[in-house]
Amino acid sequence: MRRVRGVAGLLTAALLLAGCSGAPASAPSPAADGLTGEVTIFAAASLSGSFDEIAEAFAAEHPGVTVKPIVYDGSSILVTQLTEGARADVLATADERTMRMLVDAGLASDPQVFATNTLVVAVPAGNPGDVRSLADLADATTVLCAPEVPCGAASQRLLDAAGVAVQAASQEQNVSGVLQKITAGEADAGLVYATDVIGDEDVESFAPEGAADVVNHYPIVALDGANAAGEAFAAFVLGPAGRSILAAHGFGAP
């Protein structure tokens, strides 16, 4: 009986200690790192997969911060929304030209490049239009991004350098729109970023000649007036954790 009472006493003491200790060390309180609040992020459509993963990793590291659903669209559309009064803490665009529009509007300063990307020709699975080269786009039903958005500007530079004239069947406001047309069978081909086709079984792709010479540089910035959480998110993207996730999604180093 004494042995049973001794064991019971030890168990009771352990339970009391556990009750006094609160949450385990592996589950810190929401503001354990001192960072709290919400963060609103605007990002280029081509960043959707990578930034969703980055946001999840950032939230896990900063449990006191709420990352609101990220707004994805064409970079120029996002900049227009911001200059017209939309509010965000962070902007990431698919080229430096578009980001410069935001800086020139006085809404941010000192953006930093965090990734690079290049173009590929994307076709529906099976390549029904038999598109084999950049020149084939001239005779195929081709969908491109609109020239005012980064993927459209890059597409035009690539085509001009190759001396290929394409009459686009449609011009989309972001790269997601181009891919949707291709997967729906509404186009024989389109120009999208290399990162957009990774893991997509509905499309095939190839890097056309000259693609390595047309590189988009992706900058990020915490907008003027952004909270500490927004500044921390931008730093996270630029840091080793963010860059590791970006690399896994096919983005090149800055």
Question: What's the pLDDT tens digit per position in 72-130?
Answer: 999 999 999 999 999 999 999 999 999 999 999 999 999 999 999 999 999 999 999 99
Does residue 7 belong to any structural domain of this protein?
no
11 within some domain: no
Of the candidates 218, 247, 240, which has an alpha carbon nearest to the alpha carbon of residue 61?
240
Q: Kindly state whether residue 2 falls inside one of the protein's structural domains.
A: no
Number of helices and strands (H, E) in the chain? 8, 12
The answer to whether residue 165 is domain-embedded is yes
Number of domains in the chain: 2
Same domain, 45 and 97: yes
Do both 199 and 136 map to the same domain? yes
Return the pLDDT at 34: 83
230, part of any domain: yes
**Residue 196: inside a domain, yes or no?**
yes
Question: What share of the chain in percent tops pLDDT 90?
Answer: 86
Together in a domain, 102 and 147: no
Q: Determine contact, residues 219/111, Cβ cutoff 8 Å.
A: yes
The low-confidence residues of the chain, meaning pLDDT below 50, are 1-29
Same domain, 197 and 125: yes
Q: What is the pTM of this model?
A: 0.85
Say what the pLDDT of residue 32 is: 58
Q: Say if residue 58 is in the same domain as residue 109.
A: yes
* Cα–Cα distance for residue pair 114/78, rounded to 1 Å: 18
Parent domain of 99? 37-116+217-248
CA 220 to chain centre: 11
Asked if residue 185 and residue 125 are part of one domain, the reply reads yes
CB atoms within 10 A of CB 84: 7
**Residue 53: inside a domain, yes or no?**
yes
Find the helix packing angle between 228-238 and 48-61, rounded to 10°: 120
> What confidence score (pLDDT) does residue 31 get?
54
| Residues 227, 111 share a domain | yes
**Edge-to-edge strands of the sheet including 216-222?**
71-73, 41-44, 90-92, 216-222, 112-117
Is residue 138 one of the residues assigned to a domain? yes
Read off the tokens for 156.
Answer: 């035009």
Could you tell me which residues are beta bridge partners of residue 190? Answer: 122, 143
Question: Where would I find the beta strands (DSSP E) of 98-168?
Answer: 112-117, 119-124, 142-145
> What is the bridge-based pairing of β-strands 90-92 and 41-44?
parallel
